[in-house]
Structure 1
Amino acid sequence: MENKIKILLLEDDDNDALLIENILTTSDLNVEIIRAKNKESYLELLDKLDFNIVISDYTVPHFEGIKALVELKKRNKNIPFIFCSGTINEEKAIQCLQLGAMDYVLKDKIEKLIPAVKRAIKLVTETLEKEKLEKELIQFKRAVENVHEVIFYTNPDGIILYANKAFEDIYGWKIEEVINKTTPRILKSGLYDKNFYSEFWNNIKSKDHFVIEMINRTKKGDLIEIKNMISSIYDANNKLIGFISIQSNISERKKKERELQRAKEAAEEMNKIKSYFLSNINHELRTPLISILGFSEELMNEITEPELKEYAKYIHEAGQRLNQTLNNILSLVELEKKRIEIKYESINLTELLKDLINQYSKEAEKKGLKFITKFESHKISIHSDYEITKKVLSIILDNSIKFTNEGGILLSVRTEKINSFTHPVINIVDTGIGIQSEKIEHIFEPFRQVSEGLTRTYEGLGIGLTIAKQLLDLIGVEIKIQSQLNKGTMITLIFPTVAKEEEIKSEVEKRKITIVEEPYEKKSTNPEILLVEDNPGNRMLFKKYLSEYFIVDEAIDGLEAIAKAELKSYDLILMDIHLGSGIDGVEAFKRIKSFPKYKNTPVIAITAYGMTDDREKFIDAGFTDYLKKPIMRTELIETIYKYTYKNN
């Protein structure tokens, strides 16, 4: 005990009291002695203060030591009582011990008082520790009994030695019915073969901590799905003495996951049917359209009568409109089937826009609109797909002219500094009908238009911006829309940066300064994962999925991922591919893999957009695996588990 031992000394003789105080305070004992001379002061001090030990003379005027002992035991049975007397016969000594005294010491052998007090101190210490342990055990037992999870303890052979009330609530077995029974024998669902349980026991005995989702059976025979977390327990000599199992009933959660999976599969099937239908419609309409466009063009060239020539012109224009609609349908089908192949190359935006400007300036002129262009430089480079970029710009310019009846269109190209990197930016501004603020969020949904229903003002299927958005997502271009009803619309396209090496290195160094202020130390044996994802909602969802099994650190972009990877050590990295501004996931992956400590670290690519051969493409690039969004919880956990626990 670190604090002083408080001793209450009952002694009427001043010389004896001084002798006792002197021998105790000059020893190696850390004591504080408070003296009582008579019955009144003794009882007052006993009631007023807390003492660890009482030392008493056997005879005190008008009071006896035995009575002092009795009064103490009335108040606290655990405080040691030592007699220190000049004369005490054996019979009285035995009586004192029978009444609860710990020891007695004769004053002519006062030196024996020190070991007697030491024995008392040891008893006090052990008693206090025992009381503390008993109190903690009571609190722990109450806590265990009140949790909703099943908790039970077994010996190394699986014999149940303890189970909490939740075991009874979930499985229907009375606690006394399962004590000394073998698990999982009494809980077996009948759905697994012997190999399953053989592997189950091998995992339990070979790992200090094992987690599994499985199906058990209640006493009534009902099947329930549980998450079973099993930990090994060892004694002071590191000998296995048992297992503790914590189980949660996840039947409802698994039911919802299956419902979501069925809904996902149904949606995918409907998409296949829709795509098949649209493909067939496209084919059936395009065949006669060849004749309509071809013969109408011939008639326009051969007919001389003005009225008939005008009719042929209207037929040809209607055919062109139908052809454009079919092209958009085909693009939508190809996007849904992920059949669009992206061919990245270095492109000069100024050169790409020349043909488009020539075409759409003429279209604007036909409607009496101005078409103004503004370029920051004669050469602004992007790294993208030429045809996809051109198609997207065609869709947006076509819409701008279509929905503008007076005023004009401004097309501007510039560069802008965003998050320390230079990005090419295109603005297309029109003075058209604009969009109501509450409809802007729906503008990229298929078959949605500014005006809808029987009273709609403009023709078309309403899939142009849907196609544009999906194509832009494929090549990593951000699109923003600002609009006011009856005033016009501004569409902004922000292209990925073509970052210079010195820019990347400089920005990574800046990020490293903000990430940590002290040397990094791993604080857990659980696998630690770096989640690289620019979408806050996705980060929150993935972290919720994974935090139960892993330690999850986050990076909002490729630059932060590189900085954190350099400063810390992760067991696995989840790398989103499209990371907004800055560098993409592939570039971040390459740089992280260049660090020697990440040579063998699993890195899993995750992305929402791609083609059927994406897995092969990412594996060829060096990624360990590939997951396509949306990712189901079970699929994500199982994939990570495969790579983080494969050597366990």
Structure 2
Amino acid sequence: MPLRAISRDAKVRVLFIEDSPEDAELIRFQLEDAHLNAEYLRVEDEEGLREALAGFKPDIVLSDLSMPGFSGHDALQIVREHSPQVPFIFVSGTIGEDVAVAALREGASDYILKHSSARLPAAVERALREARTEAERQRAERELMRTQRLESLSLLAAGLSHDLRNILQPLLIVPDLIAQRSDDPRLKQLAAVVAECGRRGHEMAESMLSFVRGSRRASERFRIADLFRAVELLLKGSLPRTVEFEQKLEDPDVELHGNYTELQQCLLNLCLNSVQAMPSGGRLELTAGVRGERVVLVVADTGVGMDEHTLAQLFTPFFTTKSDGTGLGLVSCRRIIEGMGGQISVASRPGEGTRFEMLLPLPSEPVDEEPGMAPVVPGQGERILIVFRDGTRLSLLGNALASQGYAPELASDGAAALRVFAESGEPDVVVVDNSIALFPAAALLSTMYESGYRGPAILVGDGGKAFDRSVLPDGVVLEMLPQPLDMHRLFAAVAEVLSRRSAR
């Protein structure tokens, strides 16, 4: 029976370990008659075998058992050490049953007698098929492990993001209170710096989730010059004296529209990789220019460079060349660039350095600046029912509204809010966290309105949760505020809904 040509679409490499050229040629003719699409190489000693494994990279090895100065058993051991998955078949003039059994135990795929080699093509076909099946199984197993690790990362990111947002919330609330209670311009400037750090930290916590779920984060318009300046400041502590850093910016006024924090994270990651690729020093360049309708950002170094094998896997999750690396940095960079509608490419050669190029679209039109908010109107003792699941944020919000002249009443979940409502009567405004778990926001507000409450409500939204307005009666005054919660927005929203209630 002729060999089914399992390799007609892809040529296989067959390595002979054989001291007799004539015997190797006969085996080759037999395989060619069976229509095996193959490339052949013959070696007869250990040195030739090791060179063939490194350079020829065989898909299957056919070996004699006894050769002058070299044993087939030694050859099998060398092949197994170098390429454990490559099929190895003994093709020998004489082989005893005990020797054949020992060979199979050592890892040989099969054994064939030269004077009875009719089943050689079938044995080669089976060995190649099994090797291919095993390779597919291992590939599927690796992909499954990667998927499981990504799922674990998603759960970790979700929990960590939630905790970080809670920790950062005071940085978003307290600076507004400080700025409103002081006329000192220096104190107001410091408060603004703290608030900006809180907003940036909140964005970074959110971006952990976007790595897995792929959602787009808030965008803003910013100058590339400001972005480069921030990257340089963050890079200073990690820049050795042996590395020369230079920025080149064709036009300082060029702008981008996207997530500033994520792009800063991307450029910093690429720059730190470049620094690590220059252990003996070198040159790091961060440049920006305009090419047609696109902005070109480049991070280039004169480091050790990368070979083709590394380049091919560079954006594969969990692939890393660092002993302490996670293999997620460059994957995150590509996600950030593609999320902004751009492209990222890399060129590198061993010993010559690496160049990352990012193409990002120019903003098509100016983004309108947010209109200035009206001055905050102080309260007159109105009762504000605040429902937040996090105790720290609940306390801060209560103190903030009390400082504005309101009378806050605090509840950590929907059930507690209903008890306050039943005991204290109807509040003037309800402020509800949309992410409360026990008796969620929709159920709480629906129950309150069914029980006679007719006042306004302010829902502090969580980007991952939608709110069904159909559960509320027609005509209800409902305002929605995004996360992170800005205190000036909250004060303005409370004053607005109270004025609308008075006008009814």
Structure with larger Rg = 1
- TM-score, structure 2 normalization: 0.34
Using CA pairs below 8 Å that are at least 6 residues apart, which structure has the higher relative contact order?
Answer: 2
